[in-house]
């Protein structure tokens, strides 16, 4: 029996399952895979798909299970733990690797595999979801508008609830501070230490600096040496984060982190369909030159998880069609700055007066 050209690993997770269901609704037949046999088997039976069950502990086991596929869409977090073994196996088996991560350490580790991937003819394309397609494409578009830009600021507002996987990943990174680019170098900043006001979506927001993936990837996409990324954080969460700062270092202790992540897995479910379909997200960006010139642009797109479903499937289709190249790429380098406009619901909006 002919095997599907692609696999969703982590299909039993919140986002992986959403992607699998949307793919099937469009006549696609990915092979589902993951570590939890009961969950994977149940979903595969419902969707009438093939499935595989394997963990990521042994390279030979991963390689055996992904052999003969054209690509793997990796949706199993925390990506800081799962991405490298899967990507290494993909290179060994000449299988393209895509994922939906937003974690800076993941981008850093995957970029180090660039030469190996190029030699194998393999594309390493992390961040094909809301992390980081809208912001990455916006950054590249801004660079085209102001080629001599030396500073880039990005912000997004209007995100809905988070999934268990997203929260678990955030908890793992929380004790290590925020991130920004300064003169091309990554720097660590205290949480909530940078903020600004932005006008987007018809109103003004106070947004705070966060360690979003673009702090790393936008430098690769644009060459702009100074980068900050912001989002709006509810006042209650800001107060809680400031109150909890002294205790954040406890999350560096493995058993403490696992305990908190386990609690998250039991209490957080992710946004429901109504929230995903009704919510809009706004992404704002500005570039500036050394002599004071600046250029702004605003992008409107779907809710974060809804966007991720659409953009990851669009990326899969392009790679299956032979597009994207090889080696380590950002979304805009693989598909161009206008890739975001191919995702339903994405459009440029007029700047506020």
Q: What is the mean pLDDT of residues 319-343?
A: 97
Radius of gyration of the chain (CA): 20
Q: Which of 234, 236, 179, 168 is nearest to 210 (CA)?
A: 179
pLDDT of residue 350: 76
Mean residue pLDDT across the chain: 89
- For every residue of 214-227, DSSP letters joined together read HHHHHHHHH--SEE
Tell me which of 45-59, 176-190, 245-259 is least confident.
245-259
pTM of the shown model? 0.91
The 8 Å CB, 24+ separation contacts for 24-28 are 24/48, 24/49, 26/313, 28/313
2 pLDDT band (50/70/90 cuts)? very low
Domains of the chain plus CATH, in order, are 6-128+307-335 (3.40.50.720), 133-304+342-349 (3.30.360.10)
Please check the confidence at residue 1 and state whether its pLDDT lies above 60. no
Question: Using omega within 30 degrees of 0 as the cis cutoff, is the peptide bond preceding 78 cis?
Answer: yes
Question: What is the structure's pLDDT at 256?
Answer: 75
Q: What is the pLDDT of residue 288?
A: 97
Q: Percentage helix, strand, coil, to 5, in the chain?
A: 45, 25, 30
Higher pLDDT, 262 or 81: 81
**Where does the pLDDT of residue 252 fall: very low under 50, low under 70, confident under 90, or very high at 90 and above?**
confident
Residue 178 class from Cβ within 10 Å (0-12 exposed, 13-18 middle, 19+ buried)? buried
């Amino acid at each position: 029996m002919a095997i599907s050209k692609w696999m969703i690993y982590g299909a039993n997770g919140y986002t992986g399952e959403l992607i699998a269901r949307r793919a099937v609704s469009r006549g696609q037949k990915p092979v589902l895979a993951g570590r939890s046999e009961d969950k994977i088997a149940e979903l595969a039976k419902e969707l009438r798909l093939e499935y595989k069950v394997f963990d990521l502990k042994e390279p030979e086991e991963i390689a055996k299970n992904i052999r003969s596929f054209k690509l793997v869409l990796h949706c199993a977090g925390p990506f800081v733990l799962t991405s490298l073994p899967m990507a290494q196996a993909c290179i060994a088996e000449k299988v393209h690797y895509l994922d939906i991560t937003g974690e800076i350490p993941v981008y850093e580790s995957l970029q180090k595999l660039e030469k190996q991937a190029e030699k194998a003819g393999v594309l390493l394309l992390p961040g094909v979801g809301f992390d980081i397609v809208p912001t990455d494409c916006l950054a590249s578009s801004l660079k085209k508008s102001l080629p001599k830009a030396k500073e880039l600021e990005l912000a997004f507002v209007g995100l809905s609830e988070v999934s268990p996987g997203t929260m678990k990943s955030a908890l793992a990174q929380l004790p290590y501070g925020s991130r920004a680019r300064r003169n091309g170098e990554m720097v660590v900043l205290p949480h909530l230490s940078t903020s600004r006001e932005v006008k987007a979506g018809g109103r003004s927001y106070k947004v705070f600096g966060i360690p979003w993936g673009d702090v790393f990837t936008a430098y690769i996409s644009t060459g702009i040496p100074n980068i900050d990324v912001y989002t709006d954080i509810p006042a209650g969460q800001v107060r809680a984060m400031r109150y909890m700062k002294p205790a954040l270092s406890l999350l560096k202790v493995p058993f403490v982190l696992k305990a908190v992540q386990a609690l998250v897995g039991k209490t957080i479910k992710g946004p429901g369909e109504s929230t995903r379909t009704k919510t809009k997200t706004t992404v704002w960006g500005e570039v500036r030159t050394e002599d004071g010139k600046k250029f702004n642009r605003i992008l409107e797109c779907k809710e974060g998880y809804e966007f991720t479903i659409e953009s990851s499937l669009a990326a899969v289709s392009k790679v299956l069609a032979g597009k994207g190249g090889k080696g380590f790429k950002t979304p805009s380098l693989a598909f161009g700055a206008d890739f975001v406009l191919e995702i339903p619901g994405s459009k440029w909006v007029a700047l506020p007066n």
